[in-house]
Copies of this chain bind each other. A is one copy, B any other.
Amino acid sequence: MDKILNIAIAEDHQVMIDGLTALLEEFDDLKVTIKAKNGVKLLEQLETHQPDVILMDINMPEMNGIDASLKVKEKYPKTAIIILSMFDDIKLIKECLKAGVDGYLLKETGIDELKEAITNVANGETHFSKPVAQKILQRKNKEKPRKSNFKPADLPLTLTPREIEVLQLICEEYTSNEIAAELYVSVNTVETHRRHLMEKTKSKNIAGLFRYALQHNLLLQS
C-alpha cells in the first residue's frame, strides 16, 4: 500500500508547475513523472506511461482541462484525475463531473488537503473541496428554469471554431459590426453566432459569455 504514486501535472503556468513539483516531491511516496502545459501535450505524454494521478488545471491553452479529462478517461479510465481550479462555479463543476473527474480542488487549498486528495483518489475514492461539495449538493435547488426552456437533454456545449473566434472578439470589446468587418462576413451572421453562443453557454448577456470564456480559457490575451 505504500508504493510510490506517480503524478502528472497539467498546468499552463510554469511557476505553478515548478512549485507543485517542489512541493509534492517533499513526500517520499510521490513522484512527478509528467509535466504538461496543456491537454494536448498531456495526452502525448500519457502514451508513453500512465501516472496514478493527474493534477489538472482547467485553464489551459490548446486543450482545456475539461476536454482533456474527457479524453483521458476515455483512454485510461483507471487513471485518477484531480481538477485544480480557481473557480467554484457550479456550471463548471458540473461539466467536470460529467467528464468523470475524481476530485475537484480549489487553488486556495493547502498542501495538506492536496496530499490527502491525491491519496484518496489513488485509492479509488473521490475528493472534493468543501465549497465544491456544497455547491454540488445545492445544485438541485438552484436549477432555475430560464424562460421557456424545456430542453430534454443537455446541449452539446462544444463551441465550433468560428463561434470561439466570435466569442474571443466579443471579449475584446468588439461590437457585432466590428466583428463582421474583422471576419469579412455579414452582421447577420455574427448575430447568429452570438445567438448560438448565448444558448450553448447558457448566458444572458456579454457578461455571461465573458465568464464562460474565462472559465474555459478561451480568452485571447489572457
Answer yes or no: A175 CB below 8 A from chain B CBs.
Answer: yes
Please, which residues of chain B bring their CB within 8 A of the CB of A208? 173
Answer yes or no: A13 CB below 8 A from chain B CBs.
Answer: yes
For residues 1 through 60 of chain A, which have their beta carbon under 8 Å from a beta carbon of chain B? 12-16, 18-20, 22-23, 26
Please, which residues of chain B bring their CB within 8 A of the CB of A18? 19, 23, 110-111
Tell whether, in the assembled complex, residue A175 and residue B205 are in contact, meaning their CB atoms are under 8 Å apart.
yes
Which one of A65-73, A85-93, A149-157, A184-192 is at the B interface? A85-93
Answer yes or no: A197 CB below 8 A from chain B CBs.
Answer: no
Tell whether, in the assembled complex, residue B20 and residue A207 are in contact, meaning their CB atoms are under 8 Å apart.
no
Task: Find the B residue at minimum CB distance from A169.
Answer: B207
Tell whether, in the assembled complex, residue A26 and residue B22 are in contact, meaning their CB atoms are under 8 Å apart.
yes
Answer yes or no: A109 CB below 8 A from chain B CBs.
Answer: yes
C-alpha gap A15/B18 in the complex (Å): 12
For residues 57 through 113 of chain A, which have their beta carbon under 8 Å from a beta carbon of chain B? 84, 86-89, 107-111
Task: Find the B residue at minimum CB distance from A89.
Answer: B221
Please, which residues of chain B bring their CB within 8 A of the CB of A200? none
C-alpha gap A208/B12 in the complex (Å): 24
Tell whether, in the assembled complex, residue A107 and residue B175 are in contact, meaning their CB atoms are under 8 Å apart.
no
Answer yes or no: A172 CB below 8 A from chain B CBs.
Answer: yes
C-alpha gap A21/B13 in the complex (Å): 16
Please, which residues of chain B bring their CB within 8 A of the CB of A170? 207
Answer yes or no: A133 CB below 8 A from chain B CBs.
Answer: no
Given A20-B19, A107-B13, A214-B214: A173 touches B207 (CB 8 Å cut-off)? yes
10 A-B residue pairings within 8 Å (CB atoms): A12-B108, A15-B19, A18-B110, A19-B19, A88-B221, A206-B206, A206-B210, A210-B210, A210-B211, A214-B214
Pick the 8 closest A-B CB pairs, nearest first.
Answer: A19-B19, A13-B107, A22-B22, A206-B206, A210-B210, A14-B110, A18-B111, A22-B23
